[in-house]
C-alpha cells in the first residue's frame, strides 16, 4: 500500500510541477497578405498619368471602414505634399509646374493602416 501512495504522490507532484512552466506560443507580426505594386507613368505636357498594377482589391465602398485583408486604397503624394487618396488603378495629375517631380505611391488598408508597400517615381515636366 505504501508503494501505491508513493507512486500517487510522485504522479501528483509531476503534474503540479509540469503545470508551472510557461507555455510557448508563437505569434507573427507579419500580415498574412502582402500586396504587390508596380507603377508606370506617362508625362505629356504638364500632365502625368500614373498606371498602377496591384493585386490589392481597391475598394471605394469600404474606404475609411474596418480592415479587410487584401482590400484597401492608395495614397499618392506629389513632391512630399498632402496625400491624395485613390481607389482606382489610374490617376492623372495635371497642371504641374516645369521641372523635376517626385510621386510616392503607397498601399493602405481600408482603415488607413499601411501595408508597408510603396514605390517612388521621379519625372521631369518640360
Instruction: Count how many Cα atoms sit within 13 Å of the Cα of residue 86 in the half-sphere of its side chain.
Output: 23
In the prediction, which pLDDT does 84 show?
96
Q: What CA dihedral angle connects 87, 90, 93 and 99, to 10 degrees?
A: 130
In the prediction, which pLDDT does 11 show?
64
User: Block means of pLDDT (10 residues each) for the chain, length 126 residues?
Assistant: 61 60 53 91 98 96 90 97 96 98 98 96 97
Domains of the chain: 55-125 (2.60.40)
Instruction: Count how many Cα atoms sit within 13 Å of the Cα of residue 4 in the half-sphere of its side chain.
Output: 1
The pTM for the full model equals 0.73
Amino acid at each position: 500500500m505504501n508503494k501505491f501512495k508513493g507512486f500517487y504522490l510522485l504522479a501528483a507532484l509531476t503534474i503540479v510541477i509540469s503545470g508551472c512552466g510557461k507555455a510557448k506560443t508563437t505569434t507573427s507580426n507579419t500580415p498574412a497578405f502582402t500586396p504587390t505594386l508596380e507603377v508606370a507613368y506617362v508625362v505629356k505636357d504638364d500632365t502625368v498619368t500614373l498606371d498602377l498594377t496591384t493585386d490589392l482589391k481597391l475598394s471605394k465602398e469600404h474606404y475609411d471602414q474596418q480592415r479587410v485583408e487584401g482590400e484597401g486604397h492608395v495614397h499618392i503624394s506629389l513632391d512630399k505634399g498632402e496625400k491624395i487618396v485613390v481607389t482606382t488603378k489610374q490617376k492623372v495629375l495635371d497642371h504641374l509646374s516645369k521641372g523635376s517631380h517626385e510621386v510616392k505611391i503607397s498601399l493602405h488598408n481600408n482603415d488607413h493602416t499601411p501595408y508597408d508597400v510603396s514605390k517612388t517615381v521621379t519625372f521631369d515636366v518640360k
